[in-house]
A and B are shown apart, each in its own frame.
Chain A
Amino acid sequence: MKRRDVFLAAAAIFVIWQIAAMIVSMPILPTPLTVLVVFFQELQNGLFTHFAVSLWRVTAGMLLSVLVAAPAGLIIGGSKRLNRLFSPLIYLLYPIPKVVFVPVIILFLGIGDTSKIMIMFLILFFQIVVLVRDQASGIAPQLIQSLQSLGAGRRALFRFVYLPASLPAILTALRQSIGTAVAVLYITELSATKYGLGYYIYYRGSTLLDYPSMYAGVIAMSLLGLGMYFSVDWLERKWCKWKFVN
């Protein structure tokens, strides 16, 4: 994704937004210019703190998910026996909407960041583990045999084959998880906190009816997701150079 394309897309969204605001002509849909002015004012007025808190929560949730789900996916995908054992369990648990556990998790882990990170972890874990498992189990047997002939046992296969082969899948899973993670972040920040973009958007929009500020929060949340997309793209270019050669 090129930066120029992102700017063009943002410009297109602003144009459509401007037209819609002019047609609706109500306080609930302010013009993008009004929102942008408020956005920069609000940045110095606490929005940046909300952004930073949300960034920490979503990054921690995603990192924890990757650190646990990627090795689990590699181990399950690397062994037919474990795959047979764990796949039914994954398929049973995957479709359950984990958001329903929010009250239970808050009850057990309290109202701090830990419960919010844990909810994100529960949702992202399954997405990542399934993608990485599929990648690991789909590695060509010839590649594995070739490495075995060089003396590689199970540990070396994980280090030299399964992990690098699954890295693109891990990054794809991460990329796919960003949208979910930001949406979950919003839900977890609706209650039991006074910081975070979810809280900011809800409080400004539903309690204070300050719509320009609410939209400024939405822009901040969008930038949070965009920054994460760019970070994953950067990691992919750095770690998966072979995917970008002709």
Chain B
Amino acid sequence: MINIHNLSFGYPNSPELFKNLTLTIARGETWSILGPSGCGKTTLLYLLAGLKLPTAGKVTINGESITHPRPHSGLILQDYGLLPWSTVRENVELGVKVRKFYGADGKHTPDNYTPKDNAEGWIQRLGLSEAADKFPAQLSGGQRQRAAIARTLVLEPDLLLMDEPFSSLDAITREDLQALTLSLCTEQNITLVIVTHAIEEAAALGKKILVLDMPTNKKLRVFDNPNAGTKGYQNTPEFLSLCRQLRSEMQKGGTQ
């Protein structure tokens, strides 16, 4: 369970992004964070990832205060974050190599960690067998994203944080990877928090949708979307109505 308690954060010489925000995300939930550019959605993700620290308040995951990246959280960035000098296989194995590098120290690697050579399984599962010996520059956008997902899932995370992961993909590949991400999260009981600026994507993926406004965010607006991820949901009037509502909320927020 993720608890955001009285969180405040701002960059120097800029308006504070968040002030006294409180939010709870339960294990296994899928959340979309939606908002215009500059509203702080990526920053919120980084706060959850432990890559940034709140100026006030705190983020706890399973009771543990987040002060640095947590071994059980996975983060996938917009540009995939693959090492250009490593092949797909080496990229997928990277997290395991980092853990072996430190050993089970409880900080970089879980205390009870025993290395597993499950990279090949995830490479196959994500349809990357033929591309396993290729470098990222030789892959399509979809393959790169699959490699990034495989690299994260190899470490068996309980929380997956994604920052606009599908924004540069074509519609078919995007829908395919959205479905794959949801099914993997359900199967592995992973909490998913995905940041997007696309209303349809937020509505298609998040069972809860958090809408952020331009700074300063003092109050969070959360929308329930229980049918997200179900087959054919995106063709229902309910989905379209939610998209209209989210659009109107974003416009309201942007003009505040």
Contact = CB atoms under 8 A, between A and B. Distances in A.
Interface residues of B, number: 36
B102 A142 contact: no
Contact of B98 (A145, A160, A242): A160
B83 interface: yes
B99 interface: yes
A99 B239 CA distance: 75
B206 interface: no
Contacts, number: 82
Interface string B58-92: 00000000000101011101111111111000000
Contact of B81 (A142, A156, A159, A246): A142
B117 to A, nearest CB: 16
B109 interface: yes
Q: Which bucket holds chain A's interface residue count?
A: 20 to 34
Contact of B138 (A149, A165, A245): A245
B135 interface: yes
A152 B85 contact: no
B51 A240 contact: no
Nearest to B135: A242
B155 interface: yes
Nearest to A159: B101
A161 interface: yes
B135 A145 contact: no
Interface in A131-190: 140, 142-143, 145-153, 155-156, 159-161, 164-165, 167
B98 A156 contact: yes
B119 to A, nearest CB: 13
Interface of B: 46, 49, 51, 69, 71, 73-75, 77-86, 94-95, 97-99, 101-102, 107-109, 134-135, 137-138, 151-152, 155, 161
